[in-house]
Structure 1
Amino acid sequence: MELFAIVVMKVDELYVRSLSAQIERELQLLHNVESGWTIGYEWTETHAYIRLEANLTELEAPIIRNQVMPCLAGCLADHIIADKESSILRSLLIKEFKYEAQEDLEAIEGYCKQSLYTESGMEDVPVLSNSFGLQRRKQILVEQLMSAFEETSRLSLDGFLHFRLQDYADELREVAEYAIDEYMMDRQYQEFISLLQYFVYIQEAKIPVVHLIHKGGHEFVILNDRLELIDANEFDATFKLEVLEKDINFEDMIVSTLITVSPANIYIHTRDPDMTVIKTIRQIFEDRTTVCSYCRTCDIYLGEPKKQDQLSP
């Protein structure tokens, strides 16, 4: 007796064998299924059929179906997420958001992956939203697959992917919109950084040395080579005003002051060299910067370093 059949467009035999084996592994984990069942597949000129068959009595049929159908839906949901999600997402980016350049697509897909697979063990990825969660997407697919199996025991996988994924596609669309926003902000930020790098490059140094003292958090002090406070008002402030008009998410005042005074060398004294604004300053001023976390000036303004600071390179 045929319980279910998965119909796919004629594709590589290895693909069909792999999907069949995946379904078989999941079914072997079922409990309280005594009747023998088998999985096989066959080909026509246009399609492949993955068949699930079992020797059932009339009384056994509902019990087996109630166990097998959720298992099969879960297995196919995993398959769609693992093997089809990337192509579905790329199709959304091309057809709905009109991105075609390979560079743009790859960059946006990178942001998408940070959202989509946070729950899969990726490191250094912020938790963004439960609505983007892997389990939520799987549950949406399982519900849609269960609904499809209620209507027919022969599921066209290609037809399902084309016509039955509205809720799932909405989830991916939300992820894509978030990723595009992040991509655009990052691109604008990098363009602005490049502008600042160019301005620093063409500008002559006005003073030999600046000591940037990072006291912690968002507290900074800017000193000259005599360790005296620098008054940026003594310098040309034209570019400073232009910088402050930009809507950039880092410490505008510090960056614009450093550009205004245009030092030949910047010594950054900090216990937190990975802070975003410090990375930004190093990116803008490049080889003009030196980061220090353990020197006489650090001792004077930052106090004694913690043990881990002394040991860090």
Structure 2
Amino acid sequence: MAQTISIGATQHIDLLKAKLGRELKLFNTDGLKVELEESPAGKFTFLAFSVSNCGPHRISQEEVQSVFKHYLADIISDIILTHWEDILLKDIIRENYYYFNEEEKKLIYDYALRHINREGQESGPTIYWANRKSRILHKLIDFLHYNNRIIIEGFIRFRLKEYVSELKEAADKAVDDFLIEREYQEFVQLLKYFVEIQEPKVEVVHVLIRGNGVFRLYDGNMQPIRSDYMEGFMIDLSDNEINYEDLLISALITIAPREITLHCKSSNGMSTTLDTIRNVFTGRVKECTGCPMCGTGRRS
């Protein structure tokens, strides 16, 4: 006698039916008979499945049930990650960080996605996504081994606490990222203001950045800038505790040139500084694609 296996949920029922329908066709071609009955129960909708062996193969009912439950577990784990995860993450952000506006919550959500998938600018599933899928799948298989009825929201809440905690941690890190980025943008706007309110002391500045982070500044005639207002900046600094990147930005803010050309023999470890220069001096920065200054990294 075929046992009934029930799946209950408050949402994504049509998606469950569509995905399960494709799998049911595979069962039917193997001589297995699957019957589906849908029934509402308050805010929940239940899909009740019964599967039996009607083919020539001698497969026990227990084996049929086991294989079918594995199929169900795989489909449910996939839907949890591709659909419920999005809702869970947004709910976590909405409930814990309600004081942010909708646009800010959207940015936090985007940061959180990058944290849980470690994906940066990549698209599509990552190894971290696959790892979560594997952990959820094994918990589902274990649960269905002892149970013929599952409510997906309840399963997530009570059986996937570690997974939900992982999403909460990603949201917390995302908020930190958002606040750091907001402070950075405010900092950039302040520097832009300083640049805009003062007259340029030099029209054109060439910035030569060496591999060790030390920089030199030259005017439009390729002469080193050594005027009084640059005292303390234009030195071949050797003190390892001095922050060359802060000095470079301070020097450029002091000069406020109309045009900046960057000559980077090596920008290792200075990408953030260079981005800050581009953001502060919007429309004024050029990139040298190659010249004797870049090639030798020296100029006296």
TM-score between both structures, scaled by the size of structure 2: 0.78
In structure 2, the residue matched to 1:42 is 39
Paired letter, 1:259: I
Structure 2 CA distance, aligned partners of 1:33 and 1:166?
A: 37
The aligned counterpart of 1:245 is none
What is the CA–CA distance in structure 2 between the aligned matches of 1:302 and 1:124, rounded to whole Å? 35
SS at match of 1:36: strand
Is residue 52–residue 64 contact of structure 2 (8 Å, CA) maintained in 1?
Answer: no
SS at match of 1:229: coil
Structure 1 gap segments, 5+ residues each: 239-248, 305-313
Alpha-carbon separation, structure 2, partners of 1:122 and 1:236:
40
Q: What corresponds to 1:144 in structure 2?
A: 139
Q: Which runs of structure 2 are paired with 1:1-313 in the superposition (5 Å)?
A: 1-9=2-10, 15-26=12-23, 28=25, 34-44=31-41, 46-56=43-53, 60-117=60-117, 123=122, 133-215=128-210, 218-231=213-226, 234-235=228-229, 251-270=245-264, 275-294=271-290, 298=291, 300-303=292-295
Gaps of 5+ in 2: 233-242
Query: Quick one: distance in 2 between partners of 1:170 and 1:33?
Result: 41
- Distance apart, 1:301 and its partner CA: 0.8
Stretch deviating more after TM superposition (25-34 or 164-173) = 25-34
Quick check: 2:113–2:170 contact (8 Å CA) kept in 1?
no
Paired with 1:96 and 1:60, the residues of 2 have a C-alpha distance of: 50
**Structure 1 residue 49: deviation in Å?**
1.9
| Gap change, CA 1:123 and 1:181, over 3 Å in 2 | same
Pairwise CA distance, 1:167: 1.4
Percent same amino acid among aligned pairs?
A: 27
Residue 236 of structure 2 corresponds to none
- State the AA in 2 paired with 1:111: Y
Q: Distance in 1 between matches of 2:15 and 2:61?
A: 27
Which residue type is aligned with residue 149 of structure 2? R
**Deviation (angstroms), 1:259:** 1.1
Partner of 1:243: none
Give the C-alpha shift of residue 182 in structure 1.
Answer: 1.7
Cα distance in structure 2, aligned partners of 1:252 and 1:135: 41
The one-letter amino acid paired with 1:225 is: G
Over the aligned positions, Cα root-mean-square deviation in angstroms equals 3.5
Which secondary structure state, in structure 1, belongs to the residue aligned with residue 138 of structure 2?
helix
What is the rounded CA distance, in whole Å, between the counterparts of 2:285 and 2:44 in structure 1? Answer: 64
TM-score w.r.t. the length of structure 1 is 0.75
Residues of 1 paired with 2:287 and 2:254: CA distance? 20
Deviation at residue 260 of structure 1 after TM alignment: 1.7
| Residues paired across the two proteins, number | 280
Distance 2:231 2:113 in 1: 43
Secondary structure in structure 2 of the residue aligned to 1:251: helix
* Letter in structure 2 aligned against 1:264: R
- Quick check: 1:36–1:54 contact (8 Å CA) kept in 2? yes
Give the Cα separation in 2 of the matches to 1:20 and 1:198: 58
Mark the CA change 1:168 to 1:206 in structure 2 (over 3 Å): closer, same or farther.
Answer: same
Q: 1:276 to 1:83 in 2, by over 3 A?
A: same
